[in-house]
Structure 1
Amino acid sequence: MTQLPPRFEISRQDIARVVAVFYERIRGHPGLGPVFAAHVDDWPSHEAKVTDFWANAILHERSYDGNPVEVHRRAGNVRPGMFDTWLALFDHVLAREVTPQQAQAWSALAHRIGRTVRAGVVDQAKGPGGVPILR
């Protein structure tokens, strides 16, 4: 079986660096930090898993086994409105840590994945009468 080429040129080490910087920023963020802190006890393991996720999504490695939509649904404290903040912070890190071409390609992929995860959370976040809770 032929392996697919990377979506864009980047090393696994660069992916790991971006993930580490991003989660450093997350831990200090007043809105997102507490949400993550409620679920992440072992930051190095979490960052390794997320690095595997991105290596799978970008480099087509087979190192990630998980379901991000289900994880975010089960968390119970993730709200659909948080995704815009998450993506803006991620874009900020990308702009500082990788080339403009890499940042553009990775951001487009992150926003596409973010829309999918957000939709999975919105489907579960319903108010009276089944109206979606968007914040």
Structure 2
Amino acid sequence: MSNPVVAAHERRAEIQRRAHAIGIDEDYISLLVDEFYRRVRLDKALGPIFEAAIGDRWDHHLPRMKSFWASVTLYTGSYSGQPVPAHRKLTDVDKGHFGIWLALFRQTLEDTAAAPETVAYFMERAERIAESLQLAMFGFPGLSRRPGSS
């Protein structure tokens, strides 16, 4: 019988080896997050939303996003936030903003990543996360939306 703790550790190590092989490490995640959110702040659609939500707390938000993406891509377990409740509070966000966010994220990846595989690795996860957040915020078509929305 295999030890589940050892198996989980080995799985995490294998995921990290694969990610490192395509240029994903904490240094790249830091560069990606810094560059992406620089672009977000300049974006006409996303900038005002993020400015209203984050204001002058970027020095707190950026490390959290780096921790989030390290957890998502490298399985570091360093992120302990709750993104769904945080995003459900954003009343100015609509489904179209997710497409803008994903396009900007993809462009940032294409401009900074070492390989196309890096872009694909991140985008697979980003698209899944965006879908989950949209379902949490807007529900399934035909079902009720988030509390307080029409």
Work out whether the TM-score is over 0.5: yes
Q: Pairwise mapping of residues 81-92 of structure 1 onto structure 2 (< 5 A)?
A: 81-92=96-107
What corresponds to 2:82 in structure 1? 67
Q: Within 1, Cα distance between the matches of 2:95 and 2:85?
A: 14
Structure 2 residue 43 is the aligned partner of structure 1 residue 29: yes
Find the aligned partners of 1:50 and 1:93 in 2 and give their Cα distance. 15
Aligned length in residues: 127
Q: What is the 5 A alignment of 1:87-98?
A: 87-98=102-113
Does the CA contact (< 8 Å) of 2:71 and 2:78 recur in 1? yes
Question: Structure 1 residue 77 and structure 2 residue 92: aligned?
Answer: yes
SS of residue paired to 2:80: coil
- Paired residue for 1:114? 130
Alignment root-mean-square deviation, CA = 1.4
Under a length normalisation based on structure 1, what TM-score does the superposition of the two structures give? 0.87
For residue 116 of structure 2, what is the aligned residue in structure 1? 100
Mapping 1:41-60, distance limit 5 Å: 41-60=56-75
Same amino acid, percent of matched pairs: 31
Aligned equivalents of 2:81, 2:92: Cα separation in 1 = 19
Q: TM-score, normalised by structure 2?
A: 0.79
Q: Distance in 1 between matches of 2:68 and 2:93?
A: 19
Verify the 8 A CA contact 1:80 1:121 in the aligned structure 2: no
Instruction: State whether residues 32 and 108 of structure 2, in contact with CA within 8 Å, keep that contact through their aligned partners in structure 1.
Output: yes
- From the CA coordinates, give the structure whose radius of gyration is larger: 2
